[in-house]
Amino acid sequence: MADLGPTQPVLQRERFRLRILTWRQQSQWFDVSYRVARERRGQIAIVILGIFVVAAIFADQIAPYHYETQLRGSRLLAPSWSHPFGTDEVSRDLLSRMIYGLRISLLVSLGAVAIGLPIGVAIGYTAGYIGRWVDAVLMRLVDTMLAFPGILVALVILTVLGTGTREVAITLGIGAIPIFGRLARGQMLQEKERDYVMAARTLGSGPVRIIMRHVAINTLPPIMIQAALVMAFAVIAEASLSFLGLGASPPTPTIGLILNAAREFLIIGAWWFALMPIAALALMLIALNFLADAILEATSPYVRNK
Amino acid sequence: MGSFLISRFGQGLAVVLLASILVFLAMRLIPGDPAALLAGQDATPADVEAVRERLGLNDPLVEQYANWLGGVLQGDFGESYSRRISVDRLIGAAVLPSAELAVAGYFFALVIGIPLGIFAGLRPGGGPDYAATGFTMFTLGIPNFVLGILLLWVLGVILDVLPITGRVAIDEDPLEAIKFLIMPMIAVGAGSAAVLARFVRASIIETLSQDFVRTARAKGLQERTVVLRHAMRNALIPVITVAALQIGFLISGAVIVEVVFARPGFGALIISGVQSRDYQLIQGMLVILVTVFVVVNTLADVAYGLVDPRIRVR
């Protein structure tokens, strides 16, 4: 046998690259993820969000203490080796509370997208595809909901549902419906005139098949971008609402509640109490915005070629 | 122009009406009987029934809505269920503090955002451009109420130059009132300033690459004239719409920031309303806020049509 030398690993690498290429051609999901992972901002976002997600999933194993555990004689301690983020006003470990708090942030924002995206996109596609009076009625409704800026629509819905973490997630999900609806409708109006839709129709595909198999795939990137931005908004809104006392109630650890408690202790110099949650929140928000940027850059030929 | 005005105002009116119906219907979904709440704990069923009758809760929904809307149009928002005083008095007391904060925040956003965007757009990659990018990143990560807490810490506690919480009426002691207003103003306006800066920057860069700018340069005009007389005028037109949209976010931002700085106003009122599910109060406040938002946007649309005749045709 001749010495194959380095050929073997090279061959393997080539085979791997080919496999990735086929995957990218087969699945738009994989293609977008692959391109995002090659963008600088996408990489930063993946690393930060990855850490947050792992911490959220394994919160019980990672957090040094339970979020309600009060440690005797450790009131408002500054960060140290035993309490990297310090302790709060009733002697609880702040790092542990934040790990659980960020889990709630993630869950609420995922919940908001899980409710808002499918309903909103379904409404938008329907309005855009059928057009005429269906479009007019649905879009008037969407416009009306969009007339409540920022978290005001959340305040209306929360009045009806009552306060609490689950209610906040549902509320933000409902609030996200018009955002996805408007976007999906615009995409549909653009796509349904395209030749491939005509071709699919000629081949006898029904509207459901055309929408699900053809249009949905082609309008994926903008909807993914919107999903990342809605998640960022939901993280802020959840923090705002629990800060206002309309979200979770104590002792549940949420970023908003921790900040609300921390505010009055800033005056006596307990800076870590407020600054640690603020830093974590900022990291999460920037990661989500970077993710949106990276998807845009990875999928829009116009931006990519600049 | 006339038909353009009529259609824009008509659309705005339709949205406000629909929004008021939406809020009204949403509030009827709240479980529990406001009449029982208002009648008190010791009330007999007959008392509750009397209250229901007095509030008109036994009427058909359409009639209730019509009555409520009729009242609102005459400035009568009904009686707050949780506080048992008229909603218009509650709102009346809250309007001034909130309006002054929103106006100050808007002023801040315009004064910081537009010049920053202009300088960033004139020389992409230059110092102001980096400042604008950094500022945008900062506001993306730090939402308004968090910025409020940071300001409180830096300006109120460490440097100790500004009062931390509360409000002084502007007609009592103007200087003191402004001191109390500075931090909430920045917290409310910073996000919008960043949005405006980014938009103005993009608009200026786009305008500078257009043919008419090249023509202006080619015929030998000074760069200053090209920028100020030709490019800037066109670049700032679309900013009107974005700037108007920001007002809505300023209003909803002010609601939260007010709570951070313990300022009286819509924020405190709306939160107590949500907590006590006082729908008379909530629906009144939201209709006012939505109306303000829609009116401002309609006016912006009209202004846009006035300065750019191409819009009117559509």
Interchain proximity B15–A147, CB inside 8 Å: yes
Residues in A touching B27 (Cβ below 8 Å): 159-160
Of A248, A261, A263, A258, the closest CA to residue A280 belongs to A258
Mean pLDDT confidence for B30-40: 72
Per the CB < 8 A criterion, the answer to whether B267 and B256 are in contact is: yes
Q: How far is CA B28 from CA A239, B61, B67, B274, in A?
A: 28, 9, 15, 14
List the structure tokens of A242.
Answer: 């629990």
Residue the block writes with tokens 């008037």: A140
Residue-level pLDDT at A109: 94
Per the CB < 8 A criterion, the answer to whether B115 and B198 are in contact is: no
Dihedral, CA of residue B159, residue B162, residue B165 and residue B168, to nearest 10: 170
Residues in B touching A144 (Cβ below 8 Å): 15, 18-19, 22
Chain A residue at shortest CA distance from B27:
A160
Q: How far is A168 from chain B (nearest CA, A)?
A: 13
Residues in B touching A247 (Cβ below 8 Å): none
Q: Tell whether A303 is within 8 A of chain B (Cβ).
A: no
Q: Which residues pair with A93 in a beta bridge?
A: A87
Residues in B touching A275 (Cβ below 8 Å): 153
Q: How far is B237 from chain A (nearest CA, A)?
A: 23
Q: How far is B69 from chain A (nearest CA, A)?
A: 17
Q: How far is B96 from chain A (nearest CA, A)?
A: 19
Q: Tell whether B242 is within 8 A of chain A (Cβ).
A: no
Mean pLDDT confidence for B201-227: 88
Interchain proximity A278–B146, CB inside 8 Å: yes
DSSP string for residues in chain A: ----TTHHHHHHHHHHHHHHHHHHHH-HHHHHHHHHHHSHHHHHHHHHHHHHHHHHHTHHHH-SS-TTPPPTT-TTPPP-SSSTT-B-TTS-BHHHHHHHHHHHHHHHHHHHHHHHHHHHHHHHHHHHHH-HHHHHHHHHHHHHHHTS-TTHHHHHHHHHH-SSHHHHHHHHHHHHHHHHHHHHHHHHHHHTTSHHHHHHHHTT--HHHIIIIIIHHHTHHHHHHHHHHHHHHHHHHHHHHHHTTSS--TTS--HHHHHHHHHHHTTTT-HHHHHHHHHHHHHHHHHHHHHHHHHHHHH-HHHHT-
Based on its alpha-carbon atoms, the radius of gyration of chain A, rounded to whole angstroms, reads: 24
Model confidence pLDDT, tens digit, residues A135-146: 888 888 888 888
Per the CB < 8 A criterion, the answer to whether B223 and B208 are in contact is: no
Residues in A touching B260 (Cβ below 8 Å): 243, 263
The segment with the largest mean pLDDT, out of A46-60, A190-204, B150-164, is A46-60
CB pairs < 8 Å spanning A and B:
123
Residue-level pLDDT at A303: 53
Q: What are phi and psi for residue B282, nearest 5 degrees?
A: -60, -45
pLDDT band, very low/low/confident/very high, at A305 (cuts 50, 70, 90): very low
- What mean pLDDT, rounded, does chain B reach? 84
Of B140, B189, B292, the closest CA to residue A148 belongs to B292
Residues in B touching A236 (Cβ below 8 Å): 143
Of A266, A303, A257, the closest CA to residue A108 belongs to A257
Contacting B residues, span 139-168, partner chain A, CB-CB under 8 Å: 140-143, 145-146, 149-150, 152-153, 156-157, 164
Report d(CA A172, CA A158) in Å as an integer.
Answer: 9
Residues in B touching A148 (Cβ below 8 Å): 19, 286, 289-290, 293
Interchain proximity B259–A281, CB inside 8 Å: no
- ipTM of the complex in this document: 0.85
Mean pLDDT confidence for A44-61: 91
Which of B140, B145, B277 shows the shortest C-beta gap to A159?
B277
Model confidence pLDDT, tens digit, residues B59-68: 788 888 888 8
Report d(CA B263, CA B94) in Å as an integer.
Answer: 10
Q: How far is CA A264 from CA B107, B154, B174, B271, in A?
A: 29, 14, 27, 20
List the structure tokens of B186.
Answer: 């920045």
State yes or no: pLDDT of A3 exceeds 80: no
Q: Tell whether B188 is within 8 A of chain A (Cβ).
A: no
Interchain proximity A281–B141, CB inside 8 Å: yes
Residues in A touching B287 (Cβ below 8 Å): none
Interchain proximity A244–B256, CB inside 8 Å: yes
Which of A156, A163, A285 shows the shortest C-beta gap to B282?
A156
> 3-state DSSP call for residue B79?
strand
Neighbours of B313 (CB within 10 A): 7
Neighbours of A249 (CB within 10 A): 13
More confident residue, A304 or B243: B243
Interface test with A, best of B252, B260, B287, B298 (most A CBs within 10 A): B252
Model confidence pLDDT, tens digit, residues B164-186: 777 777 777 778 888 888 899 99
List the structure tokens of A278.
Answer: 């603020």
Query: b/e for B173-208, b at 16 or more Cβ within 10 A?
Result: eeeeeeebbbbbbbbbbbbbbbbbbbbbbbbbeebb
Q: Tell whether B183 is within 8 A of chain A (Cβ).
A: no
Residue-level pLDDT at B5: 81
The segment with the largest mean pLDDT, out of A110-124, A254-268, B242-256, is A110-124
Chain A residue at shortest CA distance from B270:
A155
Q: What are phi and psi for residue B277, nearest 5 degrees?
A: 50, 45
State yes or no: pLDDT of A235 exceeds 90: yes
State yes or no: pLDDT of B15 exceeds 70: yes
Which of A141, A245, A282 shows the shortest C-beta gap to B271?
A245
Residue A274 has, within 13 A of its CA and on its CB side, a CA count of 26
Of B303, B293, B307, B298, the closest CA to residue B106 belongs to B293
Q: How far is A274 from chain B (nearest CA, A)?
A: 8
Interchain proximity B145–A267, CB inside 8 Å: no
Q: How far is A183 from chain B (nearest CA, A)?
A: 18
Contacting A residues, span 163-222, partner chain B, CB-CB under 8 Å: 163
Neighbours of A75 (CB within 10 A): 14
Amino acid in position B286: L
State yes or no: pLDDT of B22 exceeds 50: yes
